[in-house]
Amino acid sequence: MLNKANALLPLVRCLSRRAVPLVLMLLPAAVMANDEAPHGRYTLPDTGDMVGEAYKVDVREGQTLLDIAHEHNVGYEEIRHSNPDTSIWAPDAGDEVVIPARYILPPVRREGIVINLAELRLYYYPDTAKDEPPRVETYPIGIGRDGYDTPLGVTETTTKVRNPAWYPPESIRQEAAENGETLPPKVPAGKDNPLGSRAILLDLPGYLIHGTNRPDGVGMRVSHGCVRMMPETIEALFPRIKVGERVNIIDMPVKVGRENGQRYVQSFPRDDQQIEMGDLLHALEEIDEADDRPVDYAQLRQALENSGWQPTVLAPVDETPDEAEPQQWYDRVAGIGDAS
């Protein structure tokens, strides 16, 4: 048995891609019974793959777009792509801002934690009582930046850490020094700790899900491979996520869903990249499996490129031939349609 008061956890590299480890100190973990659950909880639909609704809010005096994103459980890229003409740092008070709170559920097993890297979003399927409907919770995340990719695959949680200390590896301290910053050998728990107040280790050496002391970075690709969450989100999830919880990390830049007989597509293009043909073909395969109606490929391509990270409805191709309108008496009088 580990002595939770002073035992050191296995080495992790959350903020470094290299093998140089971070060390987390495991402190007593009490259940946070009074923690308020964050936004983002939905009852799973009986049919279809869609949850939530997009809506609009007015900018209050002094708010930034990131303030609004934080308040409404969306990340940086989501709020920016949904409001391309609105200033991130100085939106005008009274302006309407779209909150993209409508989601196509990833087409994978609905159990435990599902992380879609392309979407910068985590889905959590908690266990529910027999008399309760199944539900999903979804929250924005920050992930590894270019060159520090978060690994894909199915894994599980191994250890939960409350108030972790951070021991910056030499590679991170050197990187900070090159940027004119000085990192101490140990960063204790507190406001200066980049791991935040909670951390959940994964059965992937060096990777974990944790909080942050810089919530503006949630919804961005900024870490060295770990998954960052809003402080209030990780604190609310922490007591409910079990050790041994299934974690499925996917990278799906295009999702297809259904609701009320309509088909929807949702894409997450990056500024420096276009949706690749393979992603488009994969989306088409999903559509073909879900519905045998023909697809307007031009509309699909346009939806993928211009969706603003929001689900876009796909109208089916109208294969009914145009029928000639019956002639009226005045057409015959005028000789319209007369073969002579």
pLDDT at 105 over 60: yes
pLDDT band at residue 82 using 50, 70 and 90 as cut-offs: very high
- pLDDT, tens digit, for every residue of 130-169? 999 999 999 999 998 777 788 999 999 999 999 998 877 7
Where does the chain hold its CATH 3.10.350.10 domain(s)?
Answer: 54-100
Better-predicted residue by pLDDT, 203 or 297: 203
pLDDT at 45 over 80: yes
pLDDT band at residue 256 using 50, 70 and 90 as cut-offs: confident
Residue 335 CB coordination number (10 Å): 8
CATH class of 54-100: alpha beta
pLDDT at 6 over 70: no
CA-based end-to-end distance of the chain = 100
pLDDT at position 134: 96
pLDDT at position 220: 92
Mean pLDDT of 102-131: 96
- pLDDT, tens digit, for every residue of 206-247? 888 999 999 998 999 888 778 999 999 999 999 999 999 999
Q: How far apart are CA 315 and CA 287, in angstroms?
A: 12
For the purposes of burial, counting CB atoms within 10 Å of the CB of 250, is it exposed (0-12), middle (13-18) or buried (19 or more)? Answer: middle
Residues with Cβ < 8 Å from 178, sequence gap 6 or more? none
Q: Which residues are catalytic?
A: 210, 226
Mean pLDDT of 282-294: 67
pLDDT at 62 over 80: yes
pLDDT at position 300: 76
**Residue 171 DSSP SS3:** helix
pLDDT at position 10: 34
- CATH code given to domain 104-250: 2.40.440.10
Q: Which of 6, 333, 28, 15 is nearest to 175 (CA)?
A: 15
Residues with Cβ < 8 Å from 26, sequence gap 6 or more? 2, 4, 7, 8, 9, 159, 161, 164
Where does the chain hold its CATH 2.40.440.10 domain(s)?
Answer: 104-250
pLDDT at 42 over 80: yes
What average pLDDT does the chain have? Answer: 80
In 33-104, where do the E strands start and end?
A: 41-43, 50-52, 55-58, 96-99, 102-104
